[in-house]
Structure 1
Amino acid sequence: MTDYVLSEETRAKYLKISTASLATALYKRGLRNQFIQNVVPVAPKPVTMVGQAFTLRYIPAREDRNEITVFRNADHPQRVAVETCPPGHVLVMDSRKDARAASAGSILVTRLAMRGAAGLVSDGGFRDAEGIGKLDMPCYHQRPSAPTNLTLHEALDINIPIACGDVAVFPGDVMVGDRDGVIVVPAHLAEELADECLGMESFEDFVLEQVLEGAAVIGLYPPTKDENVQKYQDWRQKTGR
């Protein structure tokens, strides 16, 4: 658990940052395994997903514990997670990398969106994926899956450290998702990475512009030639970036 609270100012910065830039910045700090594996957008969205993690852990289902009637329980962890995930947070599900049964369906996911969640991530699958894809809220999973979670998964723990797509996710970590996928930013690095990566995005936009104009990448990316450093500074003054 962390005391870190993502401010609206920092959230706005992350909305402009790609998972690729974050992966590079994390790698510079020795963190090589923060990109959630085998998770893709249910449907591409025009905005980046940004929010702190609120977690749900599934374990393998056992037949005597997971009959369809368990959904009648008011304290069923899957339902409770949907109803208690704070607005602006991302619900992150440890579905054991198993998409043979659904982590959730469109009704629960719609409720999560209506409550103001910033997104949803599962390393399993979702049923009713077409309907989920139509929501404005970004959602990420492995692939569509029709069977109820009860056939393979039991929802057990809420807001504890989990694994999702081979990445450790702690409550309060900052989850960032774009069309490439989802990356996990440890809470204690969230502020410094936001500022550093905004600069990276600016530089890469400059580099891409130069490449489209015919420039060679050697000496430009990275900028090992002084002339390219100066060109970038001039570009920043001109563009206000």
Structure 2
Amino acid sequence: MTNLKVETREKLKLVSTATLMTALYKRGLRNQWIQDVHRINKHSGTMVGEAFTLRYMPAREDLNQLEVFRDREHPQRKAVEICPSGAVLVIDSRKDPRAASAGSILISRLMVRGAAGIVTDGGFRDTPEIEKLGIPAYHNRPSAPTNLTLHQAIDINVPIGCGDTPVFPGDVIVGDDEGVAVIPAHLADDIAEEAVEMTTYEDFVTEEVINGRSILGLYPATDEQSLVDYKAWRQRTGR
């Protein structure tokens, strides 16, 4: 059962990961950006959902033959089948994109089951097909070899590292065209609220800068007049 409030999810869809990272930095959190992951299908919209995790370890050859996929409890297959609707499957592939973390069939299954997205710090295969899917998908780079080549799926929904970032089950994952941010679950409501306010102010600042105003005293708002002008702008624009 999801703990992410509908209103919080909707707010997070309206803000950038850059704004979220600033809000997290204000709280002393500096390592919430999943490093070196890139969006495959930019048409698929903003990704927001709670983390459901899968962890790989280095493969041991005698335990990682094709026959392992006959086991219905195989962690990779099982993760795809039990990842909750609205969640983001986050995969710890040890930052190794030399073998695929998954491919288009498994990601299609996640999409049909209602997952909000998928992220790996490794690679995906079948990227031309993934580009056409409506589910947000992030990886390091394309990788054709099967995951069995180097990765052994070992744990489901445990704390992991993804792109040098700690991800705990239930953390809120937000992805846009720049990349993926991780919000600790207990901060999600407050971060979402603050990020919406920050975005509104930045929209005001952008308009003022385009009209020729200096950023000094405006961004950040260290001059009282900036706040006076911002209040008037909000009243005028209905923001």
TM-score over 0.5 (shorter chain): yes
Partner of 2:158: 160
Superposition map of 1:174-193 within 5 A = 174-193=172-191
Partner of 1:69: 67
More off after superposition, 208-217 vs 116-125: 208-217
Local SS of the residue matching 1:223 = coil
Partner of 1:100: 98
Superposition map of 1:1-241 within 5 A = 5-45=3-43, 47-241=45-239
Identity percentage over the alignment? 62
The RMSD of aligned alpha carbons is: 1.1
**CA distances 1:56-75 after superposition (whole Å, capped 9, x unpaired):** 00000010001111111111
**CA distances 1:83-138 after superposition (whole Å, capped 9, x unpaired):** 00000000000000000000000000000000000000000000001111211111
Residues 44, 134 of structure 2: 8 Å contact kept = no
TM-score (norm 2): 0.98
List structure 1 runs of 4+ shifted beyond 3 angstroms.
none
In 1: Cα distance, 2:170 partner to 2:201 partner: 29
User: Cα offset for 1:46?
Assistant: 5.5
| Structure 2 stretches lacking a partner, 5+ long | none
Local SS of the residue matching 1:16 = coil
Q: Which amino acid aligns with 2:231?
A: Q
Residues 35, 164 of structure 2: 8 Å contact kept = yes
TM-score (norm 1): 0.97
User: Cα offset for 1:45?
Assistant: 3.0
In 2: Cα distance, 1:37 partner to 1:231 partner: 38
Q: Which amino acid aligns with 1:126?
A: F
Number of aligned residue pairs: give it: 239
User: Cα offset for 1:4?
Assistant: 7.0
Local SS of the residue matching 1:45 = helix
| Structure 1 stretches lacking a partner, 5+ long | none
Local SS of the residue matching 1:176 = strand
